[in-house]
Amino acid sequence: MNVQTNIPLSTLTTMKIGGNANYVADVTSKDELQQLYQNSKKLNQPVYVIGGGSNLIAHDEGFPGLIIHNKIGSITITDDNPTATTIVAGAGEIWDDLVKYTVDLELSGIEAMSGIPGTVGAAPVQNIGAYGQELADTFVSCEAYDTTTDTFVTLTWEDCKFSYRHSIFRGEATGRYIITSVTMSFNKTKPEPPFYDALDKYLTAKHIDPTTVTVQIIRDAVLDIRMNKLPDPRVLPNAGSFFKNAIVEKWKADDLLNTYSDMPTYPVDDQHTKIPAGWLIETCNLKGEVIHGMKVHDGNAVVLVNDAATGYADLAAAREQIIDTVRDKFQIVLEQEPLELTLIVQA
């Protein structure tokens, strides 16, 4: 096992901010993971697990312990019947490689989540989602190393308590589990309309008959839409959507619609409505603005690009300014989507 010392977190995260981690180790098996964790515990050394670093904001002071870089691989079909296929994927697999694998097999379930950066093991953490699909739709269970009991456990769909961009892994069980594999169930039916709004518009513009749509067509469409809408973190450092879409009470959204009739809204349930954070930020005329070295992306206002930030303080100042501006105009408080790479104090 290769343990490196004094590695800049800016090189391990797509926002490219952050001081040094004392140690970084790539882990490729469950045994290695357990050994490394127990060893760190004996040395009283804090541990933080990362995948692709695409949903993480590191701090200038770095991390005073060990970063475990999860690289546990393998994709296995564990059950296959005429209507469904079950797949177990190692937490260190690249998420989009898994999507491609399932689409090549003409399996449906995660094709609209093509192109999301990062690893399979991080997918349950924020219940990743895009273009009308989310991980919770196909998730069956995951295996994880339970750091409090030093055992490997299976967590069911119910255990994970998924909701919009949320689960126990970033809630009540933050830092407790290190996911080692994810089990998902895919079905063999063709994607059926109605499709997510942006996809539907894309298919119409390309004159694709919705009744002939395959999972491969959805994957290609999503990759094309994303390429035009989202900055490539290798060129423009960013962490994807910097803010979660706002979920507000329905009466409040209806009230805002009286003033902003063009405001996009999506029903969540009978009492709640989702409003895109990007629309709120753009309507505050912040699109394209550079605030404390962070640029509100020209193509998609929910994305903050590290244009010339000198460190975490710049990012925090830009975040506060955007949150304040949106709150003053709409009385809605935006929430940051990426997690912060800090010491975790377990409950």
Ligand X SMILES: Cc1cc2nc3c(=O)[nH]c(=O)nc-3n(C[C@H](O)[C@H](O)[C@H](O)COP(=O)(O)OP(=O)(O)OC[C@H]3O[C@@H](n4cnc5c(N)ncnc54)[C@H](O)[C@@H]3O)c2cc1C
Decide: helix, strand or coil at residue 238: strand
* Residue 95 vs 330, nearer CB to ligand X: 95
Question: What residue ranges in 17-165 does DSSP mark as E strands?
Answer: 20-27, 47-50, 56-58, 63-70, 75-80, 84-90, 129-130, 133-134, 139-146, 151-156
Q: Among residues 40, 134, 241, 319, which one is catalytic?
A: 241
Closest CA relative to residue 126, chosen from 167, 94, 159, 155: 167
Considering the complex, state which of residue 180 and residue 325 has its C-beta at the smaller distance from ligand X. Answer: 180
> Which DSSP category does 181 fall into?
E
Q: Report the nearest approach of ligand X to the CB of residue 279 (Å).
A: 16
Of 325 and 337, CB closest to ligand X: 337
Cα–Cα dist 209/205, whole Å: 10
Q: Which is nearer to ligand X, 55 or 183 (CB)?
A: 55
Cα separation, 253 vs 18, in Å, equals 38
The secondary structure element, H or E, covering residue 310 is none
CB of 344 to ligand X, least distance (A): 8
Question: Where would I find the beta strands (DSSP E) of the chain?
Answer: 3-8, 20-27, 47-50, 56-58, 63-70, 75-80, 84-90, 129-130, 133-134, 139-146, 151-156, 177-187, 238-241, 246-249, 266-267, 272-275, 290-291, 294-296, 303-306, 339-341
Q: C-beta of 150: minimal distance to ligand X in Å?
A: 16
In sequence order, what are the residues at sequence separation of 6 or more whose Cβ sits closer than 8 angstroms to the Cβ of residue 197? none
Q: How far is the CB of 55 from ligand X (least distance, A)?
A: 3
Closer residue to ligand X (CB): 154 or 285: 154
Nearer to ligand X, 190 or 244 (CB): 244
Tell me whether residue 337 is one of the annotated catalytic residues: yes
Catalytic residue (choose from 165, 167, 181, 319) = 165
Nearer Cβ to ligand X (240/278): 240
Task: Assess contact for 42 and 82: CB atoms under 8 A.
Answer: no
Question: Per DSSP, what are the bridge partners of residue 178?
Answer: 145
Closest CA to 154 of 141, 167, 138: 141
Cβ at position 259, least distance to ligand X in Å? 29
Q: How far is the CB of 107 from ligand X (least distance, A)?
A: 20
Strands 266-267 and 272-275, by their bridges, are: antiparallel
Q: What residue ranges bind ligand X (CB under 6 A)? A: 14, 48-56, 70, 91, 116-119, 121-123, 125-126, 128-130, 169, 177-179, 230, 233, 238-240, 339
CB of residue 50 vs ligand X: minimum separation in angstroms?
A: 4
Which residues contact residue 334 at a Cβ distance below 8 angstroms, ignoring those fewer than 6 apart? 243, 244, 246, 277, 280, 281, 322, 323, 326, 327
Instruction: Point out the residues that are catalytic.
Output: 165, 241, 337
